[in-house]
Amino acid sequence: MGMDKILILDFGSQVAQLIARRVREAHVYSELHPYDMPIDAIRAFKPAGIILSGGPNSVYESDYQADPALFELGVPVLGICYGMQWMAQTLGGNVESGHQREFGYAEVDVLDNRLFNGLADKTLPNGQRQLDVWMSHGDKVVALPPAFSVIARTEACPIAAMADDAHKRYGVQFHPEVTHTRLGRDILHRFVLDICGAKPSWTMPNYIDEAIARIREQVGDEEVILGLSGGVDSSVAAALIHRAIGEQLTCVFVDHGLLRLNEAEMVMEMFARNLGVKVVHVDASADFMAHLAGETDPERKRKIIGGDFVEVFQREAQKLERARWLAQGTIYPDVIESAGAKTKKAHTIKSHHNVGGLPETLNLKLLEPLRELFKDEVRELGVALGLPHDMVYRHPFPGPGLGVRILGEVRADFADLLRRADAIFIEELRNTRDENGKSWYDKTSQAFAVFLPVKSVGVMGDGRTYDYVVALRAVITSDFMTAHWAELPYSLLGRVSNRIINEVRGINRVVYDVSGKPPATIEWE
């Protein structure tokens, strides 16, 4: 890509992705790489500037060292927290291991400098300008490297920021990437646009043109298949690839019988009829149901659904003899996560449904046109490609679908009840509006109904009922790793409950899930 790029080296920060987001908000392309990226790779990346992230380590104890040769590339460098400490240590300054951790809000006095010029949250009567920032550190820089000067200070941290203007090297002890640092975004944009001189050319129309050219070049006159799930990522990938190569793309839509109400019709309507994409609609629900019969264990259910899915997809793909490419809607957080996952050891809580092994068995090359995009950029792209807003801003839906929302044995009749209850819940969430015009659907990150295979007694009219229970789940989260249950208004819950019990014969009780994650997970299985 010919545009200006910022390289972010990640020293193990929890919020390194945020740095990349903030830079991209300045319409400058940025990528996150591990701190030990080889210097040749850094050179080949041709960064307009480098940002060194924070991290949990101490420069004294850790082998978290980047290659100091990056300072010889002649590009501006900004170190954040650990990044600043590593820079100070490497360039001849001194870092002291913290006796006291500093965590939380701080008011820093700032001095006139290229990085902070004109930026202040307030000015004291004596003329001192201050920034409200977020600090989180144990160690701190206690002696500047040669050629550096102090550009911000607090009492606890006399070198809260430092600069070597001649070499365009900057360090900040606080975290400009988090929203708690009120002018953090402006500071990062100042670095990227003014100090690095990067051109703000990362815009959606530019991106679409470039992505289309790249897909055409990669694929040539070969054919591509894509597994369409109805989710945002695969839908946007399909729309983009179709725009690039039209008839050379065939999508396969596997209906496992565990989709939401009218989902298959919606996907076919959108892609096949509106956009003119070739879509093979495979109704494999009978097979899935047959294989799931009698199985109550959540992990085995996931394995059955995942295995069947791959099998059906493979069978369909093999019919498309001319296909040489498998397209996937992998997005940037997936790429970063799997790079991180290689070094991290985590417990498997749930085995996620994916189609990771497919390209090898099918002998297909992988086409992943969304690999560089964050979720909100994918959504922006979807809208720019003409996909309906409601589809692009839909809540995520797990690969195994209703299979993990029907507790215990999965049956077609349970799936039907759940689909209808779920649709009522979603419709009611969408029908609300707050003073800003936002619905509860917009304000929750994920909402759905769960089918509980227990029966309870009820009374309807003059008669006794003995029917199933549905639980409603609605959560608010930014990363799906932790989540709060949504404080939906009682009146809304009451309306949903009434409608479900009245309209879905077979359900006579509705409950609301008030568990956070952790200790609960978002899905029930």
Binding interface with ligand XMP (CB under 6 A): 350, 352-353, 396, 398-400, 446, 480, 517, 521-523
457: exposed, middle or buried (Cβ count in 10 Å: 0-12, 13-18, 19+): exposed
| Least distance in angstroms from the C-beta of 306 to ligand XMP | 8
Q: Which of 175, 242, 256, 353 is catalytic?
A: 175
CB-nearer residue toward ligand XMP: 210 or 513:
513
| Least distance in angstroms from the C-beta of 309 to ligand XMP | 10
CB-nearer residue toward ligand XMP: 352 or 464:
352
Q: Which of 27, 33, 137, 177 is catalytic?
A: 177
- Rounded CA separation 445/77 (Å): 36
Beta strand ranges found along 17-118 (DSSP E): 29-34, 49-52, 77-80, 94-96, 102-110
- Rounded CA separation 154/399 (Å): 50
| Least distance in angstroms from the C-beta of 354 to ligand XMP | 7
CB-nearer residue toward ligand XMP: 104 or 396:
396
Q: Which of 81, 157, 196, 251 is catalytic?
A: 81
Contacts (Cβ under 8 Å, ≥6 apart) of 503: 420, 424
| Least distance in angstroms from the C-beta of 237 to ligand XMP | 15
CB-nearer residue toward ligand XMP: 331 or 522:
522
CB-nearer residue toward ligand XMP: 31 or 255:
255
| Least distance in angstroms from the C-beta of 331 to ligand XMP | 12
| Least distance in angstroms from the C-beta of 397 to ligand XMP | 7
- Rounded CA separation 494/30 (Å): 47
- For this structure, is 175 an active site residue? yes
Pairing of strands 122-123, 446-460: unpaired
DSSP string over 427-465: HHHHT---TTS--HHHH-SEEEEEEEEEEEEEEETTEEE
Return the ∠ at Cα 460 (arms to 488 and 404), rounded to 5°: 50
Secondary structure string (H, E, C) spanning 254-290:
EECCCCCCCHHHHHHHHHHHHCCCEEEEEECHHHHHH
C-alpha distances out from residue 355 to 2, 291, 330, 400, 409, Å: 32, 19, 11, 12, 24
Q: How far is CA 384 from the centre of its chain?
A: 19
CB-nearer residue toward ligand XMP: 326 or 483:
483
So which residues are the catalytic ones? 81, 175, 177
